[in-house]
Structure 1
């Protein structure tokens, strides 16, 4: 029986849930024994990881740039280490290379047995330090999005899901959503996050994020919004928001950036914003053209099927098996 020690920032971190813990049921059903330790703000768990490492076949380190001395000890005690990441963690928040973070990143990559990167932009960076780098997109359990939810006929609901750190992108386009609503009259914004937003010119339904609530609220909407800025940091994002919308069976309007752009173009699952007023034009277009809406909706659903976690698990299982 294979034994895996999963080290993440912690269960509250979205990357921990989306790229590691989401596979819990599949690991159990495949008779893989695993244990999870969250490292953020839990120094004792670093010691636990060191003590436990020799008894596990694989250490799966997700995203965290752990201290060099810790990783060095972990490397000595571990049989195999897989490093997984889904953000441009070698950059500062302004999108510029951070020498401090890059040193940590390069050391971890160079001394891991396998690297799983969330998109090609990230893969290309990791590949400079370790040729055993594989593209593993962020996937999700699409079965959880297949619930039946009645849509509110009084509104054409636009939905955004995110966090406080990414809410700035939504806030920037709210004036454009207000202008669109001035013409269409029946728009409403569903904001699924830990941030409360207000507007005088478009109704906003603020929903505190929880894992169970998100499925119902996404499914109840008509369009998914994915605004981003055109930066290297955004290019490191893995389009999870886009995949959530697609799994809920709703077309997407997204900034023309990174993996968001690639997926929407490839599957024709929505419309891309190249200039500011496109937000208004695209919402109006999909609101007034039911046939076009249905085409994008169908394409979005087709796209989501290819990013189900079961598809990803098979790919990862083969890569790990070959490496072992």
Structure 2
């Protein structure tokens, strides 16, 4: 079976890597022939992560490449679209695919409909507020990363919706034995754009670092918190991320509480728990599904962040037990091995 994946990014884009690329070896082993055409190329990601603006002519090339790719859709048995065909453009082409009986599958791990319906621009809201609903409605199947995205697809009138969480390959995530007498490392992994959530709790981390034998490790962002040498800023790569997380003793996932965060799929928490770490997370969205009393703590205020982190800092036995439980939960619910069978069923039956 020939499958065309129209991803948003190349493999270094987290959403595309996790929602598409990591499944390709499994699908190919099952006899699928995979072709992938990302909308944005690797140079776009390099500029994005460096905080540079991409030249308009390069963006135009991305749109043109995607447009000409659509002329090849009849060569494939299945079409999988990550989020949308053309960002900030009308859903005309998804409608055309449906009109010509191209039963495409569309995949979401973020509430990107809020880029449009909650945009600060009145013009964008007017033009595109219903765009993603239309894309969902005309699809053959919506793959939704969590319940919030599922409900939006349902409201949009999607014919079929399957929850496919964002997961890890548990075979690649190893649990590292911790030493009780070593300094405690609180860790966060993410992108420069999501580092704002950590910055919101700067005072919490300032107090923790002053009063404990603790380090804070930031993976994937370089903006200085101004908290001194006990904060380490580490470069993210796909090859090193698991090792960097394994060095943590506690994993954190702060969030704001807005509609956008409700669409997030708690991937950081799944990574931490896959490495056998206890977690502390904002009680927002899917975080509340992933974290329970056996795996970590959900918090709602600065005082709760301080209290729960201090509790874990001072209790290595508790850290170990919560970490073991978290690993078991990931193996049971959030593994690539489990989700691959779900995706295989969707591709085989659509």
Give TM-score, length-normalised by structure 2. 0.85
1:258 aligned counterpart, secondary structure:
coil
Matched-pair contact (CA < 8 Å) for 2:253–2:281: yes
Q: Which residue of 1 aligns with 2:311?
A: 285
Structure 1 residues 92 and 250: CA distance shift in structure 2, 3 A: same
- The correspondence of residues 1-324 of structure 1 with structure 2, limited to 5 A, is 2-11=1-10, 12-40=12-40, 41=59, 42-64=62-84, 66=86, 67=89, 68-76=91-99, 79-92=102-115, 98-128=125-155, 129-146=157-174, 154-184=182-212, 186-200=213-227, 203-265=230-292, 268-305=294-331, 306-323=333-350
Q: CA deviation at 1:161?
A: 0.6
Unaligned 5+ residue runs, structure 2?
Answer: 41-58
1:189-241, Cα deviation, whole Å (9 max, x unpaired):
11001333243356111111111121111001100010001111111101111
Structure 1 residues 49 and 208: CA distance shift in structure 2, 3 A: same
Structure 1 residues 218 and 101: CA distance shift in structure 2, 3 A: farther
Alignment RMSD (CA, Å)? 2.3
In the alignment, the residues of structure 2 paired with residue 169 and residue 93 of structure 1 have an alpha-carbon distance, to the nearest angstrom, of: 22
Give TM-score, length-normalised by structure 1. 0.91
Structure 1 residues 47 and 93: CA distance shift in structure 2, 3 A: closer
Q: CA deviation at 1:95?
A: 5.5
Structure 1 residues 231 and 283: CA distance shift in structure 2, 3 A: same
Structure 1 residues 225 and 216: CA distance shift in structure 2, 3 A: same
1:196 aligned counterpart, secondary structure:
coil
Between the two proteins, the alignment pairs up a number of residues equal to 320
1:38 aligned counterpart, secondary structure:
coil
